Structure 1
Amino acid sequence: MFTGIVEEVGEVVAVERGSDSARLSVRGPLVTSDAVHGASIAVDGVCLTVVDQPEPGVFTVDVMAESLRRSSLHDVAAGRRVNLERAVAAHGRLGGHVVQGHVDGTGTVAARTPGEAWEVVRIALPGGLARYVVEKGSITVDGTSLTVSAVSAVDDPQPWFEVSLIPTTLELTTLGRREVGAVVNLEVDVLAKYVERITAFERADRAGGRAGEQVAP
């Protein structure tokens, strides 16, 4: 579990590709300061497991087909800068929101509008994810917990949402460098997906489409 508060910007130093997987080596001195084999580290919002530490400050992770398919890690190359966050400690502060590190899909930076002390970034997203994004709700973009400041109309054929980035976010995460056209990882609020799934089962029960299960009081 993560909070979406990026701890440092690391760098991918090596990529080994398999037929349906990849092994990444990432430099991150802060997140490796207490890392052990099996530790969880979010890389651009993707929860990955430390399998090796080949040298001080560097950790290695395996990325399976599902993560490659759903995230921007499918075309990651050495030299890429990535947002890093260690799993939150049970006694730590939840500074952002509940982030699983399970990327739902990718979006594309559609526009950047600088302000006096911030920048509004518009991100286009797949229609299948748009229904989970609401104004003033939380969303994770490349592992960064952000508040949605605006959303497209429900019937917009090209859905989008906007976030407002403060100077700290622009400086301390990769989002300050993501240009228009860049692909970013998105994780929507898991509670919205649970609600949708539960109500779908309830509708099926009422319609007689499936046998209702008796739940003990």
Structure 2
Amino acid sequence: MFTGIVEEIGTVVRLAETGGDSALVAVRGPVVTADARHGDSISCNGVCLTVVAVDGDVFTADVMGETLRRTALGALRPDDPVNLERAATLGSRLGGHLVQGHVDGVGSVLSREPAQQWETVRFALPAGLGRYLAEKGSITVDGVSLTVAAVGPDWFSVGLIPTTLASTTLGARGVGDPVNLEVDVIAKYVERLLGERSERREA
């Protein structure tokens, strides 16, 4: 479990196919590797990865085919920047919102509108995800916890403050760039529970 508060921008060292519909990714991140051990979870652009090895300030993780197909991790190349966050602990401050690191779909940047103190960014939504978004609700974009400013049937927008622009990869994302999206898990559970209640009433 994560909070969507990025600890550092890391750098991809390598992404190599290992055969059998999987890959091995190595990422440099001195902050997140400071106390990382085998088996720990680290969010990489919003994807929960399990550490299999640590060598200095570089951690390595296995990425299965399902993850490569459903996220934008497969498009990463050496030297690409990535948002990194260690898993939350029970004593952590919840500065963002509850983030699982389970990507629901890949969106893309539609537009950027700079303002004096912030920037409004609009993203395309994959089909079926719009129902989980609400104005002033939460969404995770490439591992960053953000507040939805506006939402349409196939898009949503957020306002990025200077800290987010400078401290995450979102400041450099251009129009058309893919981003990993995770909707608020609470919305998904509410939908599931209401659906089951409706089914019982109809039975």
TM-score normalized with structure 1 length: 0.91
4+ aligned runs moved over 3 Å, structure 1 = none
CA-based RMSD: 0.9
Displacement of 1:136 after TM fit?
A: 0.1
The letter for the 1-side match of 2:74 is H
Displacement of 1:11 after TM fit?
A: 0.6
Which residue number corresponds to residue 21 of structure 1? 22
Output aligned runs, 1:58-207, within 5 Å: 58-152=58-152, 156=153, 159-207=154-202
Could you tell me how far apart the structure 1 residues matched to 2:78 and 2:23 are? 12
The letter for the 2-side match of 1:13 is V
Could you tell me how far apart the structure 2 residues matched to 1:92 and 1:191 are? 20
Whether 1:56 aligns to 2:50 is no
Could you tell me how far apart the structure 1 residues matched to 2:31 and 2:192 are? 38
Could you tell me how far apart the structure 2 residues matched to 1:203 and 1:69 are? 33
Structure ID, larger Rg: 1
Which residue number corresponds to residue 8 of structure 2? 8
Could you tell me how far apart the structure 2 residues matched to 1:50 and 1:42 are? 10
The letter for the 2-side match of 1:42 is S
Which residue number corresponds to residue 34 of structure 2? 33
Displacement of 1:74 after TM fit?
A: 2.1
Displacement of 1:21 after TM fit?
A: 1.1
Displacement of 1:88 after TM fit?
A: 0.9
TM-score normalized with structure 2 length: 0.97
Q: How many residues end up aligned between the 2 structures? A: 202
The letter for the 2-side match of 1:96 is G
% identical equivalent positions: 61
Could you tell me how far apart the structure 2 residues matched to 1:102 and 1:185 are? 9
Displacement of 1:127 after TM fit?
A: 2.4
The letter for the 1-side match of 2:66 is E
Could you tell me how far apart the structure 2 residues matched to 1:127 and 1:14 are? 31
Flag structure 2 segments of 5+ consecutive residues without an equivalent. Answer: none
Flag structure 1 segments of 5+ consecutive residues without an equivalent. Answer: 209-217
Could you tell me how far apart the structure 1 residues matched to 2:104 and 2:193 are? 19
Could you tell me how far apart the structure 2 residues matched to 1:102 and 1:78 are? 23
